Amino acid sequence: MGDTGENRLIQGRYRLLDLIGRGGMGEVWRARDESLGRQVAVKCLKPLGHQHDHSFTRVLRERFRREARVAAALQHRGVTVVHDFGESDGVLYLVMELLDGRNLSQLLEDNKQHPLPVADIVEVADQVAAALAYTHRQGIVHRDLKPANIMRLDDGTVKICDFGIARLGHDIGFTSRLTGTGIAMGTPHYMSPEQIGGSDVDQRSDLYSFGCVLYELATGAPPFDLDDAWAVLVGHRDTPPEPPRSHRTELPEFLDRIILDLLAKEPGQRPHDAREVGHRIDAGRSTPAYVPTVVSARVRPETLQRPASHQVQQAHEARLPSWTHGMTTGHKATGAGLRSTPPDAAAGLTGDWIARTDTRGAQAPVPAERPAPSPELLTTLAGRHNAGLSLGRLGRWAEAGEVHRAVAAEREHALGPDHPDTLASRYEVGFTLSRTGRPADALREYTRVAGTREHVLGPDHPDTLAACQEMAYVLGRLGRHFEAHQIYTTVLATRERAMGPDHPDTLRCRHNLAFNLSRLGRLEDSYRMANEVATARARVLGAHHPDTLVTRYEVAYALGQLGRWPEALGTYQEVAAARAQALGPDHPDTLAARYEVGISLGRLGRSAQALELYRGLIDDRTRVHGPAHPETLRARHGLGVNLGRLGRWEEALAESRDVRAVRERILGADHPDTLVSRREVAVGLGWLGRWADALTEYRRVAGARERVLGVDHPDALASRNDEAHCLEQLGRGVEAAELYRRVAALRQGRAGAS
């Protein structure tokens, strides 16, 4: 927005006067509310860069509105009042009360980073505890509590700021994980161990951050005052903080104990809630000797010997989640934001391996003792694992597979075959096999991983469910849809019970189940479930989120299978338009939806429109992917089909022959797409009365399909039917009748077997 806001009017009401603050999420302006004649603060969020797609920004806007309403509903003297919110010229803004005072970061800077007077610390602690107690009762967790977000007004009132912004930041992080952009919220110096580990956070995470703030006010520096982000994060997770009184002896014992209890590594060892903290502050003010009422975190003897060194940092890097890779410390006691690299959910390096305990209290067998691998080796393997993930994100699946296979072998040697990190690598091996057209090999890998995870982690663990779901997916790829259905049903029941019906993983499983139902011929069930998932995803993620559009695409497919082509066409057109806006006109998903629009137009007899669509699609596919790309050839095939439907058979035959020749060269003579083109050549020859040539093509298609799929496969039988029809046209009725009888017998045998 720049620093010259004079005369800039937001929504025709808020006139920006001067810039009074800038932070990681945006700028704060002093402004005048022209309607009410009062001065206010307007916080303008930074516009998102070009790396964010349209779908992401739409989801962000919806979440901003929801969280701003939550912030505006908070009414407490210790929470900044939110008057209004909205969007102006693409910039999201919040209108808040204008506060006269300084935030705690500024107070420390004014004091040259010297600690605040004890009386001031106790007063701030008391008021912040009261504000947190109120907001936590409303079910609101701040998630980014730090000195820059706490204001002390000129009259001594202390207020917590940015509840809506902090919650919005968390939601940006959630959305980015869905879209792969990877923004992590939280400043390292004030992050709780559970935030660092990627676990769900609740009010106790705010209490930990509150402890970090009090530690800095009391000593002049946060508990782990290191310049390297890794060392800061490792400190939060593994190193007991030095007691504040060891830095400043005049601190009262009760305050020292409260701060240390707030900084307990385990959430359950911190004070129960902020209200309890307030009671303890009041008791400490009036009681000379403080007796702790909450057990503080136990100090592990071995950690007391650790120096805060680079070697300690290296030893624990592998235990931190991959989204922390490349993190910088940011600024202590300021409002600067923090960016990180994208999260790798499958990295598997988020904590020590603990064998599960079953419901009877018996522990699952643990591996035999083996020499502990060196921290350097673990760090190296973690880096190589993440390199494999990066190759996959670039679509270089074969190279990614080689990396993951090598890392899996080394992890198995160093950690054992059942260790979660070894299994994480095995899982990625399966994923790369699936993406390189080897579903049978992928199934073997996933089956192994799922079985071991069930034994070690339990059948309901998210990692176990992820492996089972991938098993079902590759079973579907192998045509084993009934087995896939059984696994999807089991996984879905567990996900709904553990995560709820609207969790993204639950919805993903239901989407896959809907897809599989259509392959089982249960078209009405498939359509109904896909519709339900599309509705839920639109509610949770937004109508134009890529996941919502994927499911709507499946709804359209089910409609087409049911013969409801007008509805299918309308849905495909809506998906194509939404994808063009959200993902861009050249995105593969946008182009795929346009292709299906062409299919639907052809099915409805609107071949002239289909022809026009395919010509444009071929141009775009050629420009984006090249003339020999399978999807370019698919569009050319559609063009040839619709030329035939318009009776332009010479052109149709020429197009089909060209596509067949390229497919045979690129994909191979027996590839399904090549055979489809060969059949289309035969159709064109037949319509031109060249039945002898058509017979040769039909027989080649039938022979190849029998070799690849089996003599009783529906596609092979359809090809033999084509051959029989051609024989009839050539006047060879006896041969045709015999072939028809053979096909009928094979179909009857197949039906009886099933």
CA distance 388 to 429: 10
φ, ψ (nearest 5 deg) of residue 188: -50, -35
Closest-CA residue to 446 (of 424, 462, 461): 424
Q: Is 43 marked within a binding site?
A: yes
H helices of 646-690, in order, are 649-667, 672-687
C-alpha to C-alpha distance for 395 and 435, rounded to whole angstroms: 9
Q: Please check whether residue 384 is in contact with residue 403, taking contact to mean a CB–CB distance below 8 angstroms.
A: yes
| Secondary structure of residue 2 in the 3-state scheme | coil
> Can you say whether residue 150 is alpha, beta or left, with left for phi > 0 and alpha for psi between -120 and 50 degrees?
beta
Strands 82-88 and 150-153: unpaired
Asked whether 394 and 411 are in contact (CB, 8 A), the reply is: no
Count of other CB atoms within 10 angstroms of residue 214: 24
Is residue 237 a contact partner of residue 218, using CB atoms and an 8 Å limit? no
Whether 358 is catalytic: no
Tallying the residues shown for the chain, one arrives at 754
Q: CB of 251 within 8 A of CB of 118?
A: yes
Kindly report the backbone phi and psi dihedral angles of residue 728, in degrees, each rounded to the nearest multiple of 5, phi listed first. -60, -45
CA 306/CA 577 separation, integer angstroms: 59
The torsion angles phi and psi of 519, rounded to 5 degrees, stand at -75, -20
Q: Which of 318, 342, 275 is nearest to 137 (CA)?
A: 275
User: Which listed residue (144, 171, 463, 547) is catalytic?
Assistant: 144
Angle between helices 733-753 and 714-729 (to 10 degrees): 160
Comparing C-alpha atoms, which of 671, 667, 609, 662 is closest to residue 637?
662
Q: Is the dihedral of CA 165, 168, 170, 172 positive or negative?
A: negative
Q: What is the 3-state secondary structure (H, E, C) of 249-289?
A: CCCCHHHHHHHHHHCCCCHHHCCCCHHHHHHHHHHHHHCCC
Q: Which residues contact 607 (CB under 8 A, 6 or more apart)?
A: 601, 642, 645, 646
Q: Which amino acid is at 388?
A: G
Give the gyration radius of the chain's Cα atoms: 32
CA dihedral sign, ordered 401, 453, 340, 93: positive
Residue ranges for the known binding site are 43
Residues marked as catalytic: 144
Residue ranges for the known binding site for ATP are 43
